[in-house]
Structure formats: C-alpha cells, structure tokens
Amino acid sequence: MKKRWLPRAVAGSVVLTLGLTLAACGGSSSGSSSSGSFKVLVYGDASNKVEKQIIDTFNKTSKVKAVLQTIPGADYQQKLQTIINTKQAPDVFFNWGGGSIAPFVKAGLLLPLDDMVAKDPGLKSNFLPSVFNSAVVDGKAYGVPMRGTQPVLLFNNKKVLSDAGLTEPKTWDDLLNAVKVLKAKHITPIALGGGDQWPTLMWYEYMYDRIAGPGLFEKAMGGDKSAWDSADSRAALAKLKELIDAGAFGSNYDSVKYTDGGSVALVAQGKAGFELMGSWYYSQQQQDNPDFAKAGLGYSSFPTVSGGKGDATDIVGNTNNFYSVLKKTKYPDAVAQFLKLQYSDEFVKAQMAIGNLPTTTNTVNFLSTAAIPDYSKFQYDLVKAAPSFQLSWDQAYPQTASEAMHTAVQQFFDGKLDADGFIKAMQALPTS
Amino acid sequence: MTTSAEPRVARRRSIRRSGAAVARPGFAWAAPATLFFLLFAVVPLVLVAVLSFTNWDGLGSPQYAGLDNWKALIHDHVMIQSLWLSVLITVLGVVVQTPLSILLGVWAAGKPRNRAILSAIYFIPLLLSATAISILWRALLDPNFGVPSQAKWLFGDGNLFGHQTSAIGVLVFVGAWQYTPFHTLIYQGATRAIPPVLYQAAEIDGAGRIRQFFSITLPQLRTTMITSMILMVVGGLTTFDTVLILTQGGPGTDTTISAYYMYQQAFKSFDFGGGSAIALVLVVIATIISLIVVKVSGYDKMRSSTEGL
C-alpha cells in the first residue's frame, strides 16, 4: 500500500514542480474502460496510415475496439516513459525492441507474450527468427514485429548525380570524389539534419562498422570501455574528420533538421546530392515530394572502406519495430487478435506500398507488389545477406545515455571535441 | 438637539467592533490561499527535495542515493555553464527589450488615432503561444529555405543554430519579439497616467520634446521600469519553450540554460534525481535574485512618483 502510493505521489509532484515552466501536453483521449476499447500508441510519422488501416480492419470484426494514438517522432520516448506507469498508459505500444523496452520489463510493466504464442504459434513462426528474437528479454518474448526492418541507406538525387557525371559511390574514395565534384558545382554534397543529432550518429555507426567491424561496439556495450580508445576507433574518427573537412556536409548542417523536413527538401530539390537515412526515408519523400520519390530518388548501400575490418555487406539501423503489451491491459484476448494482423497479407501489402519492408516470412511473396519493387527487393536482399545488422547506438545503449551520446556526436562534427574528447565522452556513458 | 449624543455613542461602538475585525482578520481569510500554496508549491518542493537524494527513472520506486546527485552536480560543468547562460539570456533580454518598449510605449501613448491602431497590431505577438512563435521563427530562419538563404550578405551561410553567439542571438531576438509588446503596453499605460500639468509647465519653461522625455517622462516611469524589469528577469530565468523548440540546447550544450538542462536530465535522460537537484538549485537562485531585486529597487517601500503634486 505504502509502496504503491509513494512513487505515484512523487511522480505527480515532480511533474508539477518540474513542469511549472513547461507547456501542458494535451491528453485528450482517455477512453473509459466500459466502452470496451484498448489504446495503441505509435510513433507519429508518415507510416501511420498503415497503422490506421490495420486498426480499421480490426475494428470491423472485433467487439473490443482499438484506438490509435500517435506521438510525433522526436518526443515519443519521453512521453512514453512519462505515461507508461500511469492511468494514461496505452495497452499496446510501438518500440524498438531490446534496450528500448528493457527498463519496462525490469519494472514489471510488460506482459510476456509466451502464452499468446503458445495459443497461436503463428505469432512467432510467421516472423524471421532473428527479428522476433530481438524483442526477447531474459528469455521471454515481449514484442511482436510491426512496420518493417529499417536499414540505413545512402540515398541520392539521381539527377544531381548524373548532371555531375557521377555514379553511386561504391567505395570511400568514390564518395570523397563525389564530394569534391558536387562542392565545385556549389551543391551541398551530403544533406545532414545535424540539428536533430541522431542523423549525425548514423555516420559514426557505419564508419565504425566498416573500419573496426561490429565487434568494437559490442565490446564497448559489454562494458569494455577501452574499445573506444583502440587504434580502430581512432582510425574511424580520423576518416569521419576527413569527410567533414572535405566539406561533405556544407557548413550549416547544425541549423538543418530532418524532422522538420529541411534535409529531405534539400535532396528533393537538388540542392544536395546525398543523404544517409533509414529506409523510412522513402515514405517520407513519398509524402513530401511524391514526384521525386517516384522518379528521382536513388539509393545504395554504404560504400566500402579499403583496409577496414568490417564486412562490406554489414548494415546498421533499426532491426525492426515492435508492438509490446502492457501487463495491466483489460483485453489481452482482443490484443492477441490484433497482433495477429501484423503478419496478415493485408498488412504486408500495405507496408510494402509505402516502401517499408516487413520481416514476415510471407514478405518474399509480395516483393513484386511493392511500391517500388526494386527498392523492396534491394532491402530484402541486403538484410538477408548481411552478416551483421547493428542496432542504432542510441537504441542499443540505455536511454540515460542517449543525450550525452548525441551531444558528443554533434560536438565532434563541429570540431568542439577532438578525437580524445569524443573517446572520453563515449567512455563516460553508462552501459547498463 | 437632544438626540445628538446617542448616534455618536453608537457609532463609536460600531467602529470599535468593526475596527477590531479589520485589524486582525481570522486565519479563515488566509486559509484558501495558504492551502493552495501548500498543496501546489510547498508539498511538491519538499518531495523534489527528497527526490534529489534518490535515483529514480520514473518507473519503479525511487532508490536512496545519498549525496550522489549533489556531488555529481557540483562537478558538472554543463550545470555551471547553464547558470551563466541563463543569466546572460536574462540580461540581454532586459537590455534589448527595455529601451525598445519604453520608446514604443511612450510613442503609443500619444493622442493620434493611428497610434492606437498600430499598437493594437504590435500587440499580436503576445497573443500567440511561445511554441507557435518558436516554430514560426525556426522555419523563417531555415538556412536553405528561410530568410538567410535570400539575404546571404547578412547571414553568411545561415548557420544561425550552429554557433553559440548566433544561437543565443536568435533566442534573445525571438524573446524580444514576443514580449516587447507586453512591456510596451505597460509603459503606454504608465505614460498616459503622467499628469499633463507637468508637460504644460515644462512647455512654459521652454523645454523641448527631448528635454521633456528625459526630465519628466523617464523619471515618472521609474516605478514602472522596476515592475517591467522584474517581469523580464522572471521571464528570462524561466525561458524554456523557445530553447526547446529553436535550439534544443545546442549546438552541443552551447544554449543549454538551467531550466532546459533540468528538463533534459529528468525527461530525456530519465534521471529524475539529478533533475530534481537542478530544480532545487534553480529555486534557491531565483529566490535570492528576487530578494536582491526587491531590496535594491526599494520595491518593498516604494515611494510615489507623484509626490509633491
């Protein structure tokens, strides 16, 4: 009794005091329990139309209705963690598996899905095992894959490249050459939403993989902080520095954001040649600039770096998104029915139509019906062939580390931290 | 006149009775405000103080951590820097907004009708939410698609959010754009309240417009200036929404002011213990500053500006 009361009272008061200066967040939809509905909370972006469609399909036949709620991208994790232990908590919520749900599992808030899987083995067997397993915590399954796998790719504006006589860069030297050529034409070689910080992080993830292989980061995550100070780590930082100093990102990338459409528009309008971004970039361009997405958007995997230890077919990004279920949901059976739709043919088709690539076993049957079949096929083959798929660093590390990590990542790009400073900052991050 | 004595006695009695009631109002009168204050200020404050000695991620129960959060805070250079940044943004806000709003306010207090219409238009930014204003300016100042791309002679490469000085400049500018109208309104009202006899006398003495402004208007606005500056200081120290939307404390930690740093620790890094410690530091500093302002300005024993009239 006492234990339950204290955290709540403290939570309420902290929100009051800390929140004195904050604008109140609108919390309008708190469906009453008698109406027979459960809440599905999803990261708000261009992919939401599929979630809407699937929920509509579900509601047609189900007595218990699903209600979709979205939180715009940048604030998703904060809002989720703030509400998840309150009455406003959703029943089902979007996440990145692994590290992103570990604190909730530890706090005993999530429902292990093993019973659901026992009743309907399809909930597990219809997904690629490696993907399903990345939401397994302490031997229990806590997530069912939704949306798709999201490898980070190097996108380009085909017209800008062909006008400059360039082709998609296969090697690091190709990329440096493209930077030089585009810069001479007064085009920003690579668009970067540095104001958001996490797009900058993607460059580190690939550089470290190509030069040191996936082992370095795994070692560092495992608690061996000396990995950051290794020769490979320094070599990766030196290569990044080389790219920055070559003017690859222009000079005002810190004032540009991906989340407000700034960097997206740069590429679409031909003011920049490349952008490194997750595969969701396609649906973003489709929403913002449909004509460009159809005809002008090119893509390739990250170039190889000669002398590096990493496999040239390694990828980084978000392995998948997941739906997890709260223990206190009143409608576990209805939720189980809802989760079944995440491997339905309708779901797979709808995801493919907006350029996402679901990781269900039936995906391969629908590759030809995708919005851009080549794009889906390209990703599918990439993911299938990759010896390593590194989860984004800020998702792999605990949430408590992400702010400090983003700051260090930005400061090294700006030259405010040198390699030593960056290494020190990474060593200071909590790993558990 | 036989009745004259009676009412006097009665009046004296009633005065005594009501006088006693007015001089010492019962606790009941203060109860609602006291209760409100206890519930929404003191209780949360105490709980935050308790929380600053714990580790808590907002999910389970807080774990007692002793002085860990406080030790970390003392050695945290971002915290110290954030205090200086808060002060800097506050001072710059006062320096920029005060002259602007005095001049606009005095001008708007004039008779011609067009001034009333124009001041109504100037007032609009205050009606918008700080969030809307920040999003608006973020878009206007976009380096590739906003004003800087069209005015390269002024903005260079337009990397306003990539350097500390320009990022602070943007914050101060947007703050001034939003709040100057409010302070203009205060000065307009105060200027209208200055007795016209002063100006008439000055005119007879041969004082020109500028002399009148410096010798009559400004001294008469003294108390208003203090009120307005206190509001600016409070507003400056609690600046949050503009930072959240315009710079997110960046580049790096270059515009991470204390209020934003508190939010970052608590709601982005989920370190509610550390965030609470920062919150307490802010409470102490804000209290000290307001005490100093009250003392220095003589706000507690304010003299009338129309003395001797």
Q: Looking at residue B243, which CATH number applies to its domain?
A: 1.10.3720.10
Q: What kind and span of H or E run contains A298?
A: strand A297-300
B14-53 residues touching A, CB cutoff 8 A: 40, 43-45, 47-48, 50-51
Task: Note whether B143 contacts A256, CB cutoff 8 Å.
Answer: yes
pLDDT in tens, B284-298: 988 888 788 778 776
Q: Which residues of A touch B89 (CB under 8 A)?
A: none
The token pair that represents B46 in the structure block: 């105490």
HSE, side-chain direction, 13 A CA sphere, residue B114: 0
A:247-266 residues touching chain B, CB 8 A cutoff: 250-256, 260, 262, 265-266
The pLDDT tens digits for B26-79 are 788 888 999 999 999 999 999 999 999 999 888 878 889 889 999 989 888 899
How far, in whole angstroms, is CA B140 from its chain's centroid? 26
Cross-chain Cβ contact A194/B162 below 8 Å = yes
| Cβ proximity of B149 and A246 under 8 Å | no
What is the C-alpha to C-alpha distance for residues B140 and A342, in angstroms, rounded to an integer?
A: 41
Residue A413 has pLDDT above 90, yes or no: yes
Residue B276 lies in a domain: yes
Residue in B with minimal Cα distance to A107: B60
C-alpha A231/C-alpha A81 separation (Å) is 38
User: Please, which residues 160-199 of chain B have a Cβ atom closer than 8 Å to chain A?
Assistant: 160-162
B141 within some domain = yes
- The number of domains in chain B is 1
Show the CA angle centred on residue B25, arms to residues B23 and B30, nearest 5°.
140
Residues A394 and A252 in one domain: yes
| A214 domain-assigned | yes
- Amino acid identity, residue A165? G
Minimum CA–CA partner of A109 in chain B: B59
Q: Is residue A26 included in any domain, yes or no?
A: no
- pLDDT in the model for residue A5: 52
pLDDT at A29 over 60: no
Total domains in the fold of chain A: 2
Q: Is pLDDT above 80 for B17?
A: no
Per-residue pLDDT at A46: 81
Q: Give residue A355's domain range.
A: 38-149+319-361
Q: Is A178 helix (H, G, I), strand (E, B) or coil?
A: helix
B173-231 pLDDT, tens digit each = 999 999 999 999 999 999 999 999 999 999 999 988 899 999 999 999 988 998 898 88
Q: How far apart, in Å, do the first and last CA atoms of chain B sit?
A: 42
In a domain, A29, yes or no: no
- Local structure of residue A88 (DSSP, 8 states): T
In tens, the pLDDT along A148-188 reads 899 999 999 999 999 999 999 999 999 999 999 999 999 99
pLDDT grade, residue B299 (50/70/90)? low
Domain shared by A184 and A265, yes or no: yes
Spatial distance between the Cα atoms of A193 and A261, rounded to a whole number of angstroms: 9
Q: What is the total residue count of chain B?
A: 309
Q: What is the band of B301 on the pLDDT scale with cuts at 50, 70, 90?
A: low
Domain that includes residue B158, residue range: 68-299
**pLDDT at site A23:** 39
**Of chain A residues 12-31, which have a CB less than 8 A from chain B?**
13-14, 16-18, 20-23
Residues A166 and A112 in one domain: no
Q: Which of A8, A18, A78, A271 to mutate to test the interface with B (most CBs of B within 10 A)?
A: A18
Question: Are A305 and A193 contained in the same domain?
Answer: yes
CATH label of the domain that carries residue A347: 3.40.190.10
Over the Cα atoms of chain A, what is R_g? 22
CB contact under 8 A, A253 and B162: yes
* Digit-coded pLDDT (tens) for A207-252: 999 999 999 998 998 889 999 999 999 999 999 999 999 999 998 9
pLDDT for residue A106: 87
Cβ neighbour number for residue A246 with a 10 Å cutoff = 15
**Mean pLDDT, to the nearest integer, of A339-347?**
92
DSSP annotation of B13 reads H
Option in A21, A262, A416 nearest B238 (CB)? A21
Name residues whose C-beta falls within 8 Å of residue B116's C-beta, 6 or more positions apart in sequence: B108
Tell me whether residue B83 is in a domain.
yes
Is A15 inside a domain boundary? no
- Give the confidence band of B20 by pLDDT, cuts at 50, 70, 90: very low
Q: Report the percent of chain B where pLDDT is more than 70.
A: 88
